[in-house]
Structure 1
Amino acid sequence: MYIDTIDTLEAMQPVRERWNSVYEADPHSQFFVSWVWIFGYLKRQSDAGVPWFVLAARAGSSESDYVAFLPLNVCVQNDDELGLYSQLKLAGITDSHSPGFICIPEYEHDATAAFVAYLQHQETWSVFELQHMQKDSPRLLHVLNSFPANQVKIVEMGDRVYKDELDAIDNSICPYIPLPTGWEEYLQSLGASTRKNIRKKLKRFLQQSDGPDGCYIASANEANIERYLDILLGFWQANWESRKGAKHCSMVADSWRFLLRHCFNHHCLYLPILWHGDRPVGAIAHFIDRSHQSLLSFVSARDETFTDLSPGLILHSEAIRYAIQNGFRVYDFLMGNEAYKYSFGAQEHYITTVVIHRKDWIHQDIILNPRSIPEAITIAEIYHRENHLDEAKKRYQQILASQPEQPAVLYSLAVIMQREGDYPAAEALLKQLLEIQPTNTRVWFSLGTLYQQQGQLTAAISTYKQSLRTAPEADVVTLAIYHNLGYALQQQGNWDEAIEYYQSAREFAPDCAEAEAMWANALHAQGRLSTEEKERYAAVNYALGHKRWRAGDIKVAIEYYRQAVAMRPDWAEAHYNLGLALQESEEWSWDDVIACYRQAQALAPDSTEIDVSLANALFAQGKLSLEKQSFYAVVTYDLGHQYRQRGNWEAAAQYYRKAIALKPDWAEAYHSLGLALQKASSSNLDEAIACYQKAQALEPAFLKADVSLANACFARGKLPAEKLADYAALNHDLGYQYQQLGDLELAIDHYRQAIAMEPNLIEARDNLRLALQKQGNVQIKVSVAK
């Protein structure tokens, strides 16, 4: 046997005629390995970037006709312990039994042996999955016996794949109806009660066919196919979203729409819809297999709000009648032993999924199939983006073991190694990448950054200059090169050349504040800024400090704040924010932080925030007297209230924490912290509950803490029903108290909580409307009034 590999749609087109001939000759073939289905399926896979290939067997020379075809998918499995490995699967197989491949009968044994030998010796895989093979079929047994027993481990999946415990459905059973030549003959083959029920429902259906609101069945045609697909898939999504999830159902529906339309275009889709007047109430999409005279019921759905008639029974009955009238021999319900299928007289055949493992593959270095590398890279990059560096590194290394010259993987792994401090490994990876892409500016820049990080300034400068020689004129990395090159020269004391590159950065990106700041900071270090320029660029550095802090780059933020202080030593806010930033950084000392706060306090003696931050720093050092601890606890708590009133609940929580640190037995502070945490994020609910419980422990009669704890339990669904009315009333009373104090936000919260617990509490609704009106929220006010 001679085996060809087909892996493009262009190469598939010329084999269509031969595929159809082999398909018609194979008595075990079925629709999901027909050329129409396979070509549509593979096109969908190609559009989604899913790799596939087809093994095509010739009986003699490379010029002879094909006698067998085996379509396969390649996918990557991701295991927590093993990492990545490649898996082969039968392509195109959906909700029916599979023959595995199609073959002219007299060549089946030879083709099987040839396919297995090719997969064993020419393809890279760890696991080969044969889905939905007909159980105990000679073809399946021959495939399994063709693999050397000492080289593979064979596992039958069984219930793990097919049993649905929720519905008690066994998908390893495929019901079907062998059809007679006449409709009456079919009805007579059914049980008496089933036959009577079908006749009764069809008679009623026909009786309701007259009039504007009558029932009728119409099939999809060229004029209405898109609308009919919308109806079918809309019903299906509505039927299944609550169980399978909206996102999953949407993805499945998109895939089905493509394949159903593809089959319609090739005249093998029968899509009847049951109408009640102008209202569609049920639909079933069938595939037509004329070669094997089968009608396959692929997907059905209905309007679940329609309770008249029985849309499913009528549609299936009429589809069976249609199949008989058109000479079909089989009506196939496909996978699943749902009870309704047997009411039509269905028989059964059985399927199984078999997984073939290369023996001992998990104990060896896993090599990936080249076709699966793009998917493997995607998986590794997801780990990288989510900062799971060990998992990303392991998978990058697996990919490089399979394909050593993958540029994106070499670069990403170098980034991880640099971050972990393994500089030699990072350097080796970047140099390996430069051998593949010698003009890659980004890689040269990264290598320069690596040298600079290690203090190898001469090598860094040389590498940065090399990266400039390869940089496109408008490339965004060029600005970073100018910055880093200027800074490396500055570190060497070469100020004039450093300033030249900073100036180049300004010219390259005239609207870039960072470029402006680097240039100005270098001039300031040389004493070349005027007083006005110092004030201006102090503000630029200060703003950049805020920007980098918000981005989480605290180390760079500190340097910008230091530059702001150096240019404008009399700026209290700059000293204060430098202290705050130092306190959040990894490397800091209380002496440095306190020095910043003292300087800020000297420049702004009336600033409560600065005063409180200094007091908290002194407290952390054990340098604040007990008398002052009580005083500053109150001041800190009041600051928390100020931030709460501005709606900044996270800042409020920080100050409440500091107040508690100064005064650990303060129940009110614990309660306020709980409220702030709960308002800042629903994910803080556990900590908020702990705060309310602490407040109660410190002050058992503390009503606010009791109500807040009850509200939190209600949010968890753990407040006893008999307590709802009492706590609804307490929430209303607290809401009224807060409203009288002018705290509308907390008032509204309590009114809404009262209504949630007791929807018929009219007084709470009225007061909520008034509070919203005072707050100026007219839209909500009107809604609540209604």
Structure 2
Amino acid sequence: MAWADPARPQSHLRWRVKDMQIDVISDIQTLSSLRDDWDAVYEADPEAQFFLSSVWLFKHLERLDSPWFVLAAKPTNDAISYVGFFPLRLRLKTRENGEFYNEITMAGAPGADYTGFICVPGIVHDVAAAFATHIKTLNWADLNLTHVLASSERLNSLLRHFPRGSFRIGITSLVNTDGIDNSVCPRVELPKDWEVYLNNGLRPNLRQKIRRFLRHVETSHEFRITNTTAETIEHDIGTLLRLWEAQWGSRKGERLASIRKVARVMLMDCFDSGLLFLPVLWKDGVPIGALASLIDMKNKSLLFYMGGRMEGLNNPPPGLVLHAYSIRTAIAAGFATYDFLRGNEAYKYSFGADERHIRCIVVRTESGRNLGNRLDRRSLPLLLRQAIALHRAGRLDEAERVYRRASDLQPDCTMALYHLGQLMAVKGNHRAAEQLFKAVVVAEPAACKAWSMLARSLLAQAKLNEAAAAYQEIIRRQPTFPHAYYNLGVTQLKLGQHRDAVASFEAALDLQPDGTNARTAYAKAVAVARSAVLSTRIYEHNALERF
């Protein structure tokens, strides 16, 4: 199998400058418009790797559930082309005492095995200085540089701008509970010939096994290897995930569903971009192994991402066969490396792998608090998401605290005001709820839900005339909303405005509300209101007679 190398823009970017400007890009449309600049820098950068390619990263950014932003560097003496890009992500964290703070981390993590920034050669120090200078203007307590694959020179060119006294720099261990060190990334340097690889890269025993097993699979009617196609991709990814889950699912706990979902989407994205290699090993028509690798065309590298196999099979072992098959295919395609990505599992070294390392470094403010002693304003949707989840879980006091923190961050945030008003109403504090809902309808007069909630809080305080006015405002804005007429009628009955109530209930019924129960309720309301009108007439008549 051969992989085509798509045409890429040629890079002619060569500058030596000190003064840089940083633009912040936080939406995918703007970022996509800069794809040519990104690709030119990516091609020019000798340290650029697959997870920093536009074809992988842009799709990843689209699906992030927390704010992301890209720092884009350009020389101040050049108004057109960017010369460096640093993809980052904002997170909201909570300390044990309930205090919120922000973390800036790498936008690719945790999905990307490798992260970093890309830059035109020759100006790394200037670009890194500009990135660091801008980062220090933001509000954060932790800068989490996780899974960074970069030279010491490049990494130090960034870290040197976070001096002791203002910041603390630490290293995070990537050793998991099984003792696997995920900072170690084994990879095999591939020769140009398969036989050379077998003879020079492997121990004799493994060399004999690979030759025997591949020959057996490829000549036997019992076994076959298929490569995924547009017709089989959905099934093949499903097979891979099912086999992987059978092996590893029990160890992933609550993260299993998320891992499965993210992997499926990412693998489909890579397939759609022509950057997925997914062979499946079959025995008697049953899939017994599958192995997904990502194709890094720039670095001519095949990146082993995920594998799954049916356990208990050793003749041949599915994992060994599929790795050998993938390496042979990569060599035939002229690739330079077979990358096992993160983790120093022993089996990887049997294929002749050597090591390179990634680093996880945390830069922390000396005070442990956000720079500027305030939250990043981009935290607002994260605060609201947390508060709403607490609210729905019935943890009202905690939810109130987070809503109020959101309101502190942005006092005119109508979503925070509205949800806090709902919570106050649930707590029975209708006076506070009234004030919050009034603030919402002043800011957004067309917010009929807020008008409705305001009317409820007014009713709860027996402010009947104001409640009726709120329902009338809803009707003015949504004249075909039957329930608003019904609620207005109920309020008018309480006010003794029986004739007006009849008109409101009849209007509700005339709008033909959905559902038998609603129509029945509205019809009964009409009858009750008419009865009230009749009773009033009788009372008035008797009063006149007595007079």
Q: Please indicate the TM-score interval, normalised by the length of the shorter structure.
A: 0.7 to 0.9
Question: Aligned AA for 1:141?
Answer: N
Partners of 2:493 and 2:529 within 8 A in 1:
no
- Structure 1 counterpart of 2:108, from 84, 92, 103: 92
- Partner Cα separation in structure 1 for residue 418 and residue 97 of structure 2: 24
Structure 1 residue 302, shift from structure 2 partner: 1.2
Q: Does 1:302 align with 2:318?
A: no
Question: Aligned AA for 1:9?
Answer: I
Q: Does 1:156 align with 2:156?
A: no
DSSP-derived class of the 2:316 partner: coil
- Structure 2 counterpart of 1:127, from 142, 158, 168: 142
Q: Does 1:340 align with 2:355?
A: no
Structure 1 residue 58, shift from structure 2 partner: 0.8
Deviation by residue 1:536-578 (Cα, 9 ceiling, x = unmatched)? xxxxxxxxxxxxxxxxxxxxxxxxxxxxxxxxxxxxxxxxxxx
- Partner Cα separation in structure 2 for residue 521 and residue 81 of structure 1: 56
- Structure 2 counterpart of 1:218, from 219, 222, 226: 226
Q: Structure 1 pair 418/13, CA: closer, same or farther in 2 (3 Å)?
A: closer
- Partner Cα separation in structure 2 for residue 53 and residue 308 of structure 1: 50
**What corresponds to 1:692 in structure 2?**
none
Q: Structure 1 pair 516/365, CA: closer, same or farther in 2 (3 Å)?
A: farther
- Partner Cα separation in structure 1 for residue 176 and residue 78 of structure 2: 47
Deviation by residue 1:345-379 (Cα, 9 ceiling, x = unmatched)? 22222333223344546489975444443343222
Partners of 2:183 and 2:358 within 8 A in 1:
yes
Q: Structure 1 pair 181/504, CA: closer, same or farther in 2 (3 Å)?
A: closer
Q: Structure 1 pair 24/495, CA: closer, same or farther in 2 (3 Å)?
A: closer
- Structure 2 counterpart of 1:142, from 140, 157, 173: 157
Q: Does 1:27 align with 2:35?
A: no
Greater mean deviation of Cα atoms: 420-429 or 381-390: 420-429
Q: Which has the higher helix share?
A: 1
**What corresponds to 2:24 in structure 1?**
5
- Partner Cα separation in structure 1 for residue 386 and residue 251 of structure 2: 27
Question: Aligned AA for 1:441?
Answer: C
- Partner Cα separation in structure 1 for residue 426 and residue 248 of structure 2: 46
**What corresponds to 1:206 in structure 2?**
215
**What corresponds to 1:38 in structure 2?**
57
Partners of 2:102 and 2:370 within 8 A in 1:
no
Structure 1 residue 525, shift from structure 2 partner: 7.2
- Partner Cα separation in structure 1 for residue 110 and residue 305 of structure 2: 9
Partners of 1:281 and 1:303 within 8 A in 2:
yes
Deviation by residue 1:572-613 (Cα, 9 ceiling, x = unmatched)? xxxxxxxxxxxxxxxxxxxxxxxxxxxxxxxxxxxxxxxxxx
Any stretches of 5+ residues in structure 1 without a counterpart?
Answer: 530-786
Question: How do 1:439-588 residues align onto structure 2 when only pairs under 5 Å count?
Answer: 439-474=446-481, 476-487=483-494, 489-490=495-496, 494-495=497-498, 497-498=500-501, 501=504, 504-505=507-508, 509=513, 511-512=517-518, 513-515=520-522, 528=535
**What corresponds to 2:120 in structure 1?**
104
Structure 1 residue 33, shift from structure 2 partner: 0.8
- Structure 1 counterpart of 2:181, from 151, 170, 176: 170
Question: Aligned AA for 1:227?
Answer: H
Q: Does 1:236 align with 2:244?
A: yes
DSSP-derived class of the 1:163 partner: coil
**What corresponds to 1:82 in structure 2?**
98
- Partner Cα separation in structure 2 for residue 100 and residue 446 of structure 1: 48
Q: Structure 1 pair 62/84, CA: closer, same or farther in 2 (3 Å)?
A: farther
How many residue pairs get aligned? The number is 513
Question: How do 1:265-664 residues align onto structure 2 when only pairs under 5 Å count?
Answer: 265-304=272-311, 306-360=313-367, 362=369, 367-474=374-481, 476-487=483-494, 489-490=495-496, 494-495=497-498, 497-498=500-501, 501=504, 504-505=507-508, 509=513, 511-512=517-518, 513-515=520-522, 528=535
Q: Structure 1 pair 80/527, CA: closer, same or farther in 2 (3 Å)?
A: farther
- Partner Cα separation in structure 2 for residue 363 and residue 318 of structure 1: 51
Question: Aligned AA for 1:240?
Answer: W
Q: Which has the higher strand share?
A: 2
Greater Rg over alpha carbons, structure: 1
Structure 1 residue 299, shift from structure 2 partner: 0.9
Q: Structure 1 pair 363/180, CA: closer, same or farther in 2 (3 Å)?
A: closer
Partners of 1:44 and 1:255 within 8 A in 2:
no
Any stretches of 5+ residues in structure 2 without a counterpart?
Answer: 1-19, 537-547
Q: Structure 1 pair 146/302, CA: closer, same or farther in 2 (3 Å)?
A: same
Deviation by residue 1:428-479 (Cα, 9 ceiling, x = unmatched)? 3222212211233332333333233223344444444444433432264443
Q: Structure 1 pair 455/328, CA: closer, same or farther in 2 (3 Å)?
A: same
Partners of 1:55 and 1:115 within 8 A in 2:
yes
Question: Aligned AA for 1:41?
Answer: H
DSSP-derived class of the 2:219 partner: coil
Partners of 1:95 and 1:335 within 8 A in 2:
no
Question: Aligned AA for 2:52?
Answer: V
Structure 1 residue 102, shift from structure 2 partner: 0.6
Q: Structure 1 pair 396/478, CA: closer, same or farther in 2 (3 Å)?
A: farther
DSSP-derived class of the 1:105 partner: coil
Question: How do 1:743-762 residues align onto structure 2 when only pairs under 5 Å count?
Answer: none
- Partner Cα separation in structure 2 for residue 248 and residue 310 of structure 1: 28
Give the superposed CA RMSD. 3.2
Question: Aligned AA for 1:232?
Answer: L
Structure 1 residue 507, shift from structure 2 partner: 5.0
Structure 1 residue 150, shift from structure 2 partner: 4.4
* Structure with the larger RCO, 1 or 2 (CA within 8 Å, 6+ apart): 2
Greater mean deviation of Cα atoms: 342-351 or 496-505: 496-505
- Partner Cα separation in structure 1 for residue 353 and residue 198 of structure 2: 12
